[in-house]
Structure 1
Amino acid sequence: MLGRIEGTGRISYICKLIYEAYRIPVFWLDTGGSVHLALPASFECRTPLQGSGSLLAEVTDHAAQQTGVQGCGVSSLPQLYTTGFLEQFILLRLPDGQPNSSGTVIIGPVLSAPITGDNAADLMRDYNLAPSQQERWLQYYRSLPVLSRTRWYHAALLLHTLVTGEELSVTDLLLAAPVQQSAEYAGDGPDLDLSYRRENEWLHHDPMLEREMFRFIAAGDKEGLLASQAAFSEERFGLLSKKSRLRSKKNLAVSSITLATRAAIEGGLFWEIAYTLSDFHIQHIEELNDIPAVDRAQTAALCDFADRVRDNRRSKHSRMSALCQNYIFNHLYEEITLGRLAEIAGLNPSYLSHLFKKETGLAVSDYIQRERIEEAKRLMTLPGITLSDIATRLHFNDQSYFTKVFKKFTGLTPRQFRQDLENFF
């Protein structure tokens, strides 16, 4: 007789379905973090390099942190988590308030591609591990299932639908992931004095996939970009460093950002803005110390280019406005005169002023003030910078004038705005 499975039985049944369908480890943890169900029962995760906890504890800690960010009382979307040693997990927090069916379902660990001896040796060097441990690590990696990126995403979608009954697309999954949120960009800002030489190409994959992905950037289509990127197979990427897996990943990320820069320019983004974004994202990637962080930063960079192209197309401004806005963006920390902007645009100052206000809705001086206030807001998120420093750097005559202009565009004084930031975080 057919019947509806409720409570504990239902979640256990879903876990068994996932395990049987993919033959990958599945765990159900209660709200206290204890393992309620493990499939297979004999599976043993590796222990971390430091501390007394297990790999599973590391993953559950990550789930707990994300739960704190997302809030309580609602089910979350699946979370995709990759460790520094390339093990991948799917985490889905179960809805609160339902007896015997709360907690977190964890799928993994799996790999997106087999780990070879050379790969393992690279990871040993990246994490300063003794070469004598390499064979033990290789044995561990060989015990893990390997799923392509596309199948892994579909496993996350299947888990979500079985638990919630709701439809979810790959694009929805990736757009909701923290990987898309590039908070560092808003807070730090690009350094226009640095530039990177770019010598590597995206290697060992079907050129049609590459062209399709960068076509989405040129069209300002972030959703299409993410769906296209999901089709790339990890093992088809080139190896751009023989000594370090991390270095190879960074080189691949740099090459993809280089191509994305060209695609964004073809899509209408003014070249100076595109190169500025490129410099910033490459500098950020060079500072990272593990492979998952590089992967996240690379995806965030590609999405940033797509968003910029989309916003630029929506604005429908003329080349004159684009030239002026680009110059203002790059020279906020300098004195900006109408005469200099007219020289850049090749127009009479009065005529430029008239056209600029007609297209943007703001006088040139108001537009510059607004952009400086936006930059001031970004600077306020950084530690160690006083309000007087910000006012001086952005060429406001004195603190009172800075306060007046800031309140004009935000409705708050700088101190009130910073206090709200501190209360929020």
Structure 2
Amino acid sequence: MLDYLEETEGLQYICKLIYEAYQIPVCWLDSAGNLQLALPPSMEERPAAPTHAGMLAEIAEFVFGLENNLPRNTGGTSFLPYLHTTGFLENFIMLKLPAELGTGGTIILGPSLAASMTENTVASLMNDHNLPLGHVEEWLQYYRGLPVLSRTRWYHAALLLYSLVNGQALSVTELLLASTHHEPVQHTESRSDLDHSYRRENTWLHHEPMLEREMFRHIVIGDKAGLLRSQASFSEESFGRLSKKSQLRSKKNLAISSITLATRAAIDGGLFWEIAYTLSDFHIQHIEELKDIPAVDKAQLAALCDFADHVRDNRRSKLSRTSALCQNYIFNHMYEELTLNKLAEVAGLNASYLSQLFKKENGISVSDYIQRERIEEAKRLIELPGVTLSDIATRLHFNDQSYFTKVFKKYTGVTPRQFRHDR
């Protein structure tokens, strides 16, 4: 260990270095939990804790509560960094200082975010914590003041902090293992054995893996009829119970699990990964809103059929890899400027050649295809509450409202306003 770390100035230097390198708040608490250093001197405080000491007190209580269980390195000579995410999605890194430093205490990095927060995400968090939605804007402003560090940079900050304090290297694997030392879920062997015995006695066994593989194979090949036949072969008793307290929650969990598997199967079947994931998001969000078991059962089956249909339609198009790549890029970047030259760059082809190839395979020019897909996206946006027609036109890169109306009518036969009125 480096000699200068035995002095307070050494710890202050490390804190300042981490702060300047990652632009993330850094605090040093002594062994009694008193604040010795904070960078910046005053941090953005979450609305639920109006005083500066609020969040620090919460984190200090958490880390000192873990004190006897904090992981050490293989030799047991130094503590390892501990990664912590709060219920409000704030990320922290905590490192207890070695006792031989004399100064002791803990260095805390954070709060930071893994990704920028949207208004919808903040609103859902407020709902999860039973907080009034009238404070969404206040919370949104708070989150906008926090630095955003990707998972990788978050891990690297922890590794750097450890190396500076201890003068030793640490791997990402060691870091992650150190932060997953919570107590495992406990279950009594007698209860587990009783459940197994009861299910065998009544022949209520889980479904055979082969049945599951066969069902999702039909999604891979886009065979909805085969999917329905396979799904009908599952008995109600063959499904596991994924919630002890709620049959509805259990059904929802099962449905989400099957949609996750269907997403992978659809991608294996050649469906654009972004389309597959978007379908998954849509169906899972829909299922979460349902209030009764029959509705969940119907929604689950509809979701599986939707994946099979999309794979079937994708296979029928018989597009070359180049056309498929361009279509996928257009789908993913609908809200950006899209040009033939950009698509040619993505495909690695001459723009003129790409234009000819795309029109030959799709029966429509690149520009017309982009227009058509933007109108399809506009139709989906029009059905959403609170989204104005002028906002849709701007977001989808139409020059003005009148041009948007003209193009919309070209592909739908009605104006955007008429389309909304008919919904």
Max Rg structure: 2
Question: TM-score under structure 1 normalisation?
Answer: 0.49
Which one has more relative contact order, counting CA pairs under 8 Å at least 6 apart? 1
